[in-house]
Structure 1
Amino acid sequence: MLRAENLAVQRGPCTVLADINLELRPGEVLGVLGPNGAGKSTLLGALCGELQPSRGDVWLDQRRLQDWPGSERAQRLAVLPQTSTLNFAFRVEEVVAMGRLPHASGQLKDAQIIKQALEAADALHLAGRSYLALSGGERQRVHLARVLAQLWPGGEGQMLLLDEPTSMLDPLHQHTTLQATRAFVEQGAAVLVILHDLNLAARYCDRLLLLERGRPHALGTPEEVLRAEPLQAVFGLEVLVQQHPERGHPLIIAR
C-alpha cells in the first residue's frame, strides 16, 4: 500500500500542496481531478519520490518511500509522467524493454512480457518501428506499455502512477488505455491516474480525489465527488449530473 500522511510541498514561499492524507489501496483505481495548477502533478511527484515533501511522509508498505533502495522500489512502483522525451531512434520494443531494467528475469521472459505489455496498450502493431517515427498518441501508448512491463503482470503490493495518460489519445484509445489499467488492478495492483475528463473518471475510477489550489476538496466514490456543487465550486463550471443509462455511474453534462 502507498500512503501519504499530512503531505505538503512548498516551492519558495508558496505552498503548492497541503493537507494530503491518502491511501492507494490494492485492487483500486484512484483518480485525481482538478483544474490546471491545482497540484495534481505535484502530488504524483511527491508520491513517487521525485519531489521532496516540505512536511509529512510517503510510505510504501511499512517503510518510508525514501528508505527503499532504488531497484527494489522500481519493482514495486512505476510512474508514467505527463511527458516522456526520447531523442534517439530506439525501436519500440527497446523503449518498452527499459521497463524491465530493474529486473533480472532473462531475455526470453522479458521478450514475452514486452509483447504482452504492448498488447495490453494496444500497441503491438507498432513493434519494429522507430520511436521517432511515431505520432504523439502512439508514443504515449508505447510509454504506457513500458510502465506496464515494469510491473507486469501486476499484483498486490505494486503501484502504478499515471499522469494524464489519455491526453494525446483519440477517444477509442482513451478507453483502451483505461481498460488496461482496470485489467491491471484486477490482478491486485493499485493505480493512481490523473485525468481531466470527468466522464472517463466516473467510468473507470473506484475513488476520486478532487483538488482545489493544492488542497483536497473532496475524496470519495464517483457518486460522492461528481456532484454539481463541488464541480462548480472547483472548476467554475455549471453542470448537470445524471445517471448513465446503461452503466449507472455519474454522467456529467456541461450546461
Structure 2
Amino acid sequence: MERKLKKTLHKAANQYKFTDNVNIQSVINKKGRKPFNGGFKLNYVVAPLIAVTILGLGAWNIPSVNAAISETIEKAINLIVSDNYSELEDNLNQMPPTLAHMAIEINPEGRKRTSYLSGEKEYSKYENGDYTVSDGKSVGQFDKEKNTFTIWKYDRPSQSFEEEYFKTVDESKIQSLGTDAFLGRTVDKYLINGSSELWFDQETKLILREFSVSGNQRVEDSKVIDIKFNVEVDESFFEVKAPKGAKVIESTDPY
C-alpha cells in the first residue's frame, strides 16, 4: 500500500496544482514505514488519489447526504476528513494498555488475518502463523516457515500522513456519501477524487471499509468480517520479542 500510495501521489502532484507551500515529496517522506499493509484499516491507510470528483448539486436532495452536508457548510469537507484522522489518533492514544480493538478480515485470495490495535501498538496474525507486532517504537515480523523474526525500528511521525495530506486536498475533490451501517456500526462515507471510497466508524474514526472505484465498479482489497472494540489483552501482548528458537534478524530496511 505504501508503494501504491507514493505512486499515485506523485501522479496527483503532477496532475493537480498544489499551493506553493505544499511539498508532496516532503509529505511522503514524513510518512515513514508502515508495519502492516491493509489490516482492518488500522494503519491509517489512504487509497489511490487520482481522478477528480466534484460534489454534484443533485446530492443535496438525497436524504442520506443531507446530514453530512450541513456539517460541510460550517467546515470544508477536506478538513473534516483530516480531522477524522486526528480524532482517530487521539482516541487510540487515550486507550489503556490492557484494551485493544480487534478485527478479522479476508483478502480476495481468501487469506484470513486477525488484527489488534491499542494506542500506537499493533499486532496482526495470519492463519499460517506468520505475524507482525509493534510496540510503537520497534516492529517485529515472524516468518513461521523460515522460523525468522526480523526486527527494525519504527519512527512514527508526530502527525499522521493522512491528516496532513487531506489539509492540502481541494475540497471539491471529496464527496460526502452520507451515513450507512456496517457490522452494527454507524459509518460516514466519503468518495475521494472519484477513485477511493472510505467508510469511517463514527465513534472511533477507524476506516472499516475501503474501496477502489472505477466508474460503476467498486473493488475492496480486503473485507472485515468481524470487529470488536475494547477487547481485553495482556500488557505483554504487543511485546516485540522473538518466539523461542526463532532466528533473530536485526534490520534497518526489512522491505
Higher strand proportion (structure 1 or 2)? 2
Higher helix proportion (structure 1 or 2)? 1
Please give the TM-score of this superposition, normalised by the length of structure 1: 0.23
Please give the TM-score of this superposition, normalised by the length of structure 2: 0.23
